[in-house]
Amino acid sequence: MIEITLDGWKVKAQEGSTLLSHIRARNIDLPTLCQHDELSPFGACRLCAVEVKVNGKWELATACNTPVAKGMEVRTDSERAIAGRKLAASLLYYRYPATRAVRDLAENLGVAVAAEAADAKECVLCGLCTRTCREIVGVAALSFEDRGLGRDVDEPRIAFDANACIGCGSCAYVCPTGHVKMEATGDKRIIWDKAFKMATCQVCGRPFAPEDQLKYISARTGVPMSRLKTCMSCR
């Protein structure tokens, strides 16, 4: 265990843990957009900006991907930290002015937000879907394209690998803006423009999961397909 100073409080911290975990443990309200406890940190939105003393100098850092260090001093409530978060929210709002999730975050952080009825549900490049697909589902059907040398870094997009996707819909559930569309029609689920045939529960007859997802679960767990033909409610 090491000790850090957080808004003047001495806090014991596990080496390797992130600043955000200690900030949350003290019930300090810090906005986040690209962070999820079950996923690797990404540091994309910068909404979680705090001030950290490095080599005797206060600097802005993102709490979600900054590991604690012995003797570290952290300020979440300084003028500069608050201004850093507001600036991050302003930049997001400037880029995605018609996306409700962004507008709500920006407004909460004191950005003047113009009235807008529609919700554009744009992709804000938070990376939650790509990381969920890769790190939790274990499929890696989603990735950022237009990244890397010589690429247009201003316009990265999500690349979808239809052959790898099992139609589980995790990306749609985790997306904070509603950009990932998932539709159900009859015994089909359409996601990222790919249609998946849904398996029908052998007890109640309702479609309950994409067949590709059940095959994936069977292959990963060794549970035979014959035992995956009943929905959760009928088990």
Beta strands across the sheet bearing 73-75? 9-13, 2-6, 73-75, 49-54, 57-62
Q: Pick one of ligand FES, ligand SF4, none as the site partner of residue 44 (Cβ within 5 to 8 A by kind).
A: ligand FES
CA nearest neighbour of 158 among 184, 124, 196: 124
**Interface map 35-54 toward ligand FES (x if CB under 6 A):** x-------xxxxxx------
Is 61 an interacting residue with respect to ligand FES (CB under 6 A)? no
Give 38 or 193: the residue with its C-beta nearer to ligand FES.
38
Query: C-beta of 42: minimal distance to ligand FES in Å?
Result: 6
Q: Give the interface size with ligand FES as a residue count (CB under 6 A).
A: 12
DSSP state string for 143-201 = EEES-STTS-TTS-EEEE-TTT-----HHHHH-SSS-S-EEEETTEEEETTEEEEEEEP
Q: Pick one of ligand FES, ligand SF4, none as the site partner of residue 129 (Cβ within 5 to 8 A by kind).
A: ligand SF4
Give 64 or 166: the residue with its C-beta nearer to ligand FES.
64
> What is the C-alpha separation between 211 and 138, in angstroms, rounded?
17
Give 45 or 214: the residue with its C-beta nearer to ligand FES.
45
